[in-house]
Amino acid sequence: MAGSMELSLRLCPGAQAVPVLLDRLEAYAEETGLPMGPSQRLALVCEEWLANVAMHGTGASYAELSLWREPGSLHLRLADDGPPFDPLAAPPPDTSRPLEERMAGGLGLHLMRRMTRRLDYAREAGCNRLLAVLDVA
Amino acid sequence: MEIVEVRAEGATVAVLEGRLDTVTAPLVEARLLALLEEGAVVADLAAVRYVSSAGLRVLLRAAKQGMGSGRGFSICGLQSPVREVFEISGFDRIIPAYPTRAEALAA
């Protein structure tokens, strides 16, 4: 197949980086023929990650993403130099509560976990590092 | 994100087009909550290709306001990747969703 199946992006953490990120991921999905389902899951994992870096990472000077395809899967490496934040440590929201009791928090992390086959966190050399693997059916 | 308002019998249909994400969510929230001040609202998501947790929070707020005021809020036309996000969040059980606009308006 023509074109690279890899993508690297370095972003300034903040809301203004979100449309840049999503546009690039949509272009990547189109160029590499990624189906709609995995494409949306990829965009979601990346947006939730970036939104978290922007929210918790006061002082993060960068947010870096690299992405590559393997047969049947998409691999994502995400890094930022903000304060330590382990997205796997947050308790999952109770998705069975009725409307009046549903709170809005914790949803992004829940989606990240559910949309990945594997999600590993490490704090290394002053950076948060996430490794995510998504299924491509 | 584009929002077109269509007046229908008994409700306003907010036809959304684009991505409902961190950046577009505040605009959509302001519009939906303002429309809910006037009456029932159906958010037509047929042309929304992407919803993140920021978008889900907006729809949750609108649904709570629609329920609290008794005016009513529902959504329709979810694309399949968007429906998956709703199901994983459990929102499919708390926000009334219909396959088509006509069905949402008839409900």
Q: Taking the CB of residue B29, how many other CB atoms lie within 10 A of it? A: 18
Q: Within a 10 A sphere around the Cβ of B100, how many other Cβ atoms?
A: 12
CB-based contact A115:A96 (threshold 8 Å)? no
Structural domain boundaries enclosing A99: 7-135
Does residue A108 sit within a domain? yes
Residue A27 lies in a domain: yes
**Residue B52 confidence (pLDDT):** 95
Find out whether B100 and B8 touch, Cβ atoms under 8 Å. Answer: no
Question: Which of A106, A98, A93, A99 lies closest to A52, judged by CA?
Answer: A106
pLDDT tens-place string over residues B16-40 = 999 999 999 999 999 999 999 999 9
Q: How many CB pairs under 8 A join A and B?
A: 84
Which of B54, B64, B90 comes nearest A51 by C-beta? B54
Could you tell me what percent of chain B has a pLDDT over 70? 100
Contact residues for A118 (Cβ-Cβ < 8 A; gap 6+): A131, A132, A133
| pLDDT for A57 | 60
Residues A37, B80: C-beta atoms closer than 8 Å: yes
Q: Is residue A2 in some structural domain? A: no
Distance from CA of A17 to the nearest CA of B (A): 9
Gap between the Cα atoms of A29 and A63, Å rounded: 20
Coil, strand, or helix at residue A111?
helix
ipTM of the complex: 0.89
Alpha-carbon distance values, A3 to A27, A28, A63 (Å): 12, 10, 25
Closest CA of chain A from B53, distance in Å: 5
A67 is a domain residue: yes
- Facing residue for B64 by CB, picked from A39, A44, A99: A99
In chain B the domains, ranked by start, together with CATH numbers, are: 2-106 (3.30.750.24)
Q: What is the pTM of this model?
A: 0.91
DSSP string, A57-93: -TT---EEEEEEEETTEEEEEEEE-SS---TTSSPPP
Look up residue A97 and give its DSSP letter: S
**CA of A3 vs chain B CAs: smallest distance (Å):** 25
Q: CA A112 to CA A108: how far, in whole Å?
A: 6
In a domain, A65, yes or no: yes
Q: Does A55 touch chain B (CB under 8 A)?
A: no
Beta carbons of A19 and B23 less than 8 Å apart: yes
Segments of chain B with pLDDT less than 50: none
| A35 occurs within a structural domain | yes
- The pLDDT tens digits of the residues spanning A64-100 come to 999 999 999 999 999 999 999 898 887 777 777 776 6
Per-residue model confidence as pLDDT tens for chain A (137 residues): 444 689 999 999 887 899 999 999 999 999 999 999 999 999 999 999 999 898 776 779 999 999 999 999 999 999 999 999 898 887 777 777 776 666 666 888 999 999 999 999 999 999 999 999 999 97
Residue A43 is part of a domain; what is its CATH number?
A: 3.30.565.10
The total domain count for chain A is 1
